[in-house]
A = this chain, B = another copy of it.
Amino acid sequence: MLDAEIISSLQNARIKNLVKLRNRRPRDRQGIFIAEGYRAISRGLERGVVPEEVYFSPDWFLGENEPALLEDAKNKGATLFELTKVAFEKVAYRDRPEGILAVFKQWSHQLDEIELSDSPFLLIAESIEKPGNLGTILRSADAAGVDAVICCDSVTDLFNPNVVRSSTGVLFSMPTVMTSTRETIDWLSKKGIRSVATTPHAEDFHTAVDLTGPIAIVMGSEQFGLSETWLDACQQQVRIPMAGQADSLNVAMATLVTLFEAVRQRTLSS
């Protein structure tokens, strides 16, 4: 078996700290976060993001690939810790633990670090509140192939356990900038990138507006939609036609629909 320190006491300082990391303050103060489960951790490793520590408990393993993943992480510099079944249950965030959990260093990207493609394609999300929505938005952005996601005045942090989980590892690959609305508007203008606001009050459907060329799709918060600042700053406003209940599409679903209309137009025009 793998050479690793074994931890069985629930009073162990590392165990206690893993539990603490569910909260943002200790997470930010220590500059680390947790990714749980085989898929997320292997996505990190595939992208060259090596965890500092990996905690595992074979009693919880779902498949047969976990030892190879642990070996890989260890060879790349991670420290392994083996936990008893009970100790792992205590640190796991999920109802059905997969027996593997890793601690990664946090990172941050700035607007000026974004590598823009020849025809920039960006997603901007303002004041997102729910971690699950942010994670799903990252997945949608990945599937649509945007250059980067810019979160303005975000209520949730990027390293919230539910963002990590719901992004299914996209967190490790999608350039994501946490910044303010003001800085983003200035930056877009400097870069000559047109911004398109999505709002139920727009006149035009998202399918009726040109979404090709250098563009940023701008989505508002769950409760309040886009701020006046963004609505004023955007060159165009669009809405998605809604056949049913007004709230059938949440912000993550509306993001997905708008991004894939942009993909359609950009594929045709390229």
Q: How many monomers of this chain does the complex have?
A: 2
Contact flag A264-B261 (CB < 8 Å), given A142-B245, A145-B244 = yes
Q: Which residues of the other chain, B, contact A143 by a CB distance below 8 angstroms?
A: 240, 242-245, 248-249, 253
Q: Report the nearest B residue to A143, measured CB to CB.
A: B248
The verdict on A57 contacting chain B, using a C-beta distance below 8 Å, is: no
Inter-chain contact B145/A245, CB cutoff 8 Å: no
A149-181 to B contact mask, C-beta < 8 Å, 1/0: 000000000000000000011100110000000
Report whether B256 and A241 are in contact in the complex, using a CB–CB cutoff of 8 Å. Answer: no
Q: Is A45 an interface residue (CB 8 A)?
A: no
Let me know if A87 is at the binding interface, CB within 8 A.
Answer: no
Q: Say whether B144 contacts A243, CB under 8 Å.
A: yes
Q: Which residues of B contact A144 (CB under 8 A)?
A: 243
Q: A260-B260, A261-B264, A264-B261 are in contact. Are A244 and B142 (CB under 8 A)?
A: yes
CA distance A142 to B247 in the complex (A): 10
| Pair A173/B257 contact, Cβ less than 8 Å | no
- Is the Cβ of A142 less than 8 Å from the Cβ of B248? yes
Q: Is A267 an interface residue (CB 8 A)?
A: yes
**Chain B contacts of A174 at CB under 8 A?**
244
Main SS at interface, chain A: helix
Q: Which residues of B contact A184 (CB under 8 A)?
A: none
A249, B252: Cα distance in complex, Å: 12
Residue from B145, B243, B247, B256 within 8 A of A168 (CB atoms): B247
Distance in angstroms between the alpha carbons of A245 and B169 in the assembled complex = 9
Q: Is the CB of B139 within 8 A of A249?
A: yes
**Binary CB contact string for chain A from 34 to 52 against chain B (1 if under 8 A, 0 otherwise):** 0000000001000000000
Kindly identify which residue among B139, B244, B245, B253 contacts A248, using a CB–CB cutoff of 8 Å: B139
Known A261-B264, A264-B207; judge A245-B43 contact (CB<8 A): yes
- C-alpha gap A257/B249 in the complex (Å): 12
Nearest to A145 among chain B residues (CB) is: B243
Q: Is the CB of B260 within 8 A of A240?
A: yes
Q: Which of chain A's residues 177-233 have a Cβ closer than 8 Å to chain B?
A: 205, 207
User: In the complex, how many angstroms separate the beta carbon of A23 from the nearest chain B beta carbon?
Assistant: 16
Specify which chain B residues have a CB less than 8 angstroms from the CB of A127 in the assembled complex. Answer: none
A43 contacts across to B, CB distance below 8 A: 245
Residues of A within 8 A of B (CB): 43, 136, 139-140, 142-145, 168-170, 173-174, 205, 207, 240-245, 247-249, 253, 256-257, 260-261, 263-264, 267-268
